[in-house]
Structure 1
């Protein structure tokens, strides 16, 4: 018995500006709502005066609705776009605030901005600005996280980090954001900050100084509760597991994903080499062992972490990879929306149908009308695996499924930077009798632009 793992691209959207953050709404009534944030550096034209040499950064937030309306109808519909300052991170609050979903954005002007999702007169929905707070002068807000990751609204707060190496905790109320505390946490950019969802008095931060730190808000931020130098390069992703107490995932420019037990932080539970620099990590909203990773120069991967969490100490196997982006892999998120019907068949499994045609060299070209773009989808082998030309380090196969193991179908969204593309795709995973397991090693990207040739230590915005 083995697992059958299949990914299918559903739609591609050109965001025009560089895309770096994407989030599905976690609230039940709005599971079909998706936002995408963008970041664009506008360089001063050659020959401009000295006084205008400072670059400006602009952004845009897109609001989409997802509806399954048949195989030839693009499921994602843009319903609003709002020009903003450049966006570096976006997160939905996990609980409603005054009966509305609330979206937080970290921007290049050093602000945290809050938007409320409201119903419109046209019968749709839209984002409405609620409040904002500047974290400090001459800095970029780099990340934010809500304390509500387990669906608890008591003492709702936001934590944010910035390019000055500071971390700030803010309370959220009807009147908006109020700063509770701010402190210098890292020597360089504090790329990421996050709550422990099980004890929201605990905050984690990671910085370009290669350090992972913990902070207890009850005793104040004068001294971290721990400092780890286990990552060899800048720490840029942290996510607390909302289903399993004490479990923390971290990612770094050193291309490693580390899993930690918060009760013993001297050594990680496991270390998984993914390649490309791990910019974002997201635990699955309902399955405690599945972890989504955006790996900058090496695509998007889904890790199965069960054996690592049970203490075997080995690397987490990659059970699926999405390789269709052609630029830096930054934004990634799981949707809670239930997918209806089976996945589309591979061209080798049924005749081609309208809007789809086979291409030479083992590619399938899917063509939609605007607002989607045309793109190439690599075909899979008989067991549903993508086979790029280059292969990276291999990893161990996932656990053998039980005979009654349930199948799983997930909807995901990912976005990439320089090609300014948002992809919506599905992943189907089910036990299957097969002679070959479907777990894959991390695959290298082919045909990348110059940005993929740069070292993975290059920061997204610090270098700009």
Structure 2
């Protein structure tokens, strides 16, 4: 069965500082909450050799679908921090609270808890922090809870000195369990195997992908792969399919692996841009989101690779409205089966509103380019015209089996780009052509 695919922008927010990470909360009662982190390099003032400083800001947003003709994303909080390299929500509550982890440029792993005010509002508050090393940047983190397992909550963190640290959270404090030298240069990424959390993966600027068994100690990796030809930037364990691992690199390739055989990947997919982040879909094991630095954001359909059929994974959707480095991206766990909200673009960019043929139209002028989007059709649905053409699959699109897929899928996503400091919230609709051709019932 062939599928049609369309991405639709819902809102654009100017983060003011360079945006590099966006994460939706996975907890069932808080899936409408979105965190975004920024990173800004400030040149030293005065003397030419003055050390630069790295500053950041942490944002917390709430997504609301029920407010018609209003922006669905509302800023709840902003907090100045050290520059942020990575954000991750713990997948389970810790002592009954949502916890957000932050990898900071001052070398700290910082944790924040989400609190509720008497007025019903939510805000983040510092819980604890731990420096993973002096004069280094914390670059990434991952929680051991990817399969919603709360029995053993730990964090893995990588840093600019090439080290990987594993920490536990006990009585509101971070405790270092182990740290070791994993890579010759920056260790860009570290991640747990969600199916066996004694296994940790790491990737570095030395072009190496490595595995580690915490039971055996970090003296020697369980494997070292040089299959990527440039620095390894992204690793994500599939929470729905045991042994499956996705990796991305500056070499512009996405590799899928079976963890039982790391000599040869299951699949290799060129995406035309350095692959900074990869995220498996929260419920659909075959869908993979990729943030591709110089080449936008893409959704891969990995079903054939997961069935060991080989070949590249086809791209079923692309989001192309960012105008700078595509860094942060994440799926929301919210369902968007109902009609998407109609919304204006964030008020910071220049806007001009006109009515044309029953459509509300907005001109969004970004720092580097401009484009038109049609926000609403005559039936009240939000359908930007400018992105319909490039994101609908052509007639010769790959054909997939639908036995594992719902008849249609509507997903909420967030993505952010660096130098234009923009956060986008968008939806992706994926519908079988057969369903589209069914006559409407009166």
Aligned length: 413
| Superposed counterparts of 1:14-413, under 5 Å | 14-45=14-45, 48-49=46-47, 53-343=50-340, 351-354=357-360, 356=362, 363-364=372-373, 378-381=386-389, 385=392, 397-401=398-402, 406-413=407-414
Cα offset for 1:402? 5.9
Cα distance, 1:135–1:301 mapped onto 2, change above 3 Å: same
CA contact (8 A) 1:358 1:365 kept: no
Structure 2: tracts of 5 or more residues without a match:
343-355, 377-383, 437-442
The alpha carbon displacement at 1:70 in A equals 4.3
* Alignment CA distance shift 1:304-1:58 (3 Å): same
1:430 aligns to what? Answer: 431
Deviations 1:166-187 (A, max 9, x none): 0000011223100000000000
Q: How far apart are the structure 2 equivalents of 1:194 and 1:216?
A: 12
Q: CA deviation at 1:355?
A: 5.0
Q: Counterparts of 1:36 and 1:358 in 2: how far apart (Å)?
A: 21
Taking the aligned partners of 2:225 and 2:4, their CA distance within structure 1 comes to: 38
Cα pair 1:4 1:384 within 8 Å, conserved = no
Q: CA RMSD in A?
A: 2.7
The normalised TM-score by structure 2 is 0.88
- DSSP-derived class of the 1:137 partner: coil
Alignment check: 8 A CA contact 1:22 1:332 kept: yes
Q: When the two structures are superposed, what TM-score results if normalisation uses the length of structure 1?
A: 0.84
How many Å separate the matches in 2 of 1:156 and 1:203?
A: 14
Residue 243 and residue 181 in structure 1: after superposition, are their counterparts in 2 closer, same or farther (change >3 A)?
same
Contact 1:380 1:386 (C-alpha < 8 Å) held by counterparts? no
| Distance across 1 between alignment mates of 2:363 and 2:140 | 42
Are 2:115 and 2:125, in contact at CA under 8 Å, matched by a contact in 1? yes
Deviations 1:39-93 (A, max 9, x none): 0000124xx225x610000000000000013452110000100000000000000
Q: Tell me, what secondary structure is at the counterpart of 2:304?
A: helix
Shift of 1:341: 2.1
User: What is the CA–CA distance in structure 2 between the aligned matches of 1:2 and 1:358, rounded to whole Å?
Assistant: 33
Following the alignment from structure 1 to structure 2, what is the Cα–Cα distance between the partners of residues 44 and 403?
A: 54
Q: Contact 1:201–1:217 at 8 Å: present in 2 too?
A: yes
Residue 159 of structure 1: how far off its partner (Å): 0.3
Change (3 A) 1:171 1:433: same
The structure where strand makes up a greater share of residues is 2
Q: Pick which of 166-175 and 223-232 moved more.
A: 166-175
Aligned residues of 1:118 and 1:126 also touching (Cα < 8 A): yes
Determine the C-alpha separation between the residues in 2 that align with 1:356 and 1:266: 51
Which whole-Å CA distance do the structure 1 matches of 2:283 and 2:406 have between them? 16
- Gapped runs of 5+ residues in structure 1? 368-375, 388-394, 436-464
Distance 2:231 2:125 in 1: 35
Question: What's the offset of the Cα at 1:153?
Answer: 1.2
- The DSSP-based 3-state class of the residue aligned with 1:13 is strand
| Higher alpha-carbon deviation: 164-173 or 331-340 | 331-340
- Whether the 8 Å CA contact 2:85–2:139 is kept in 1: the answer is yes
Match runs of 1:440-451 below 5 Å: none
SS at match of 1:429: strand
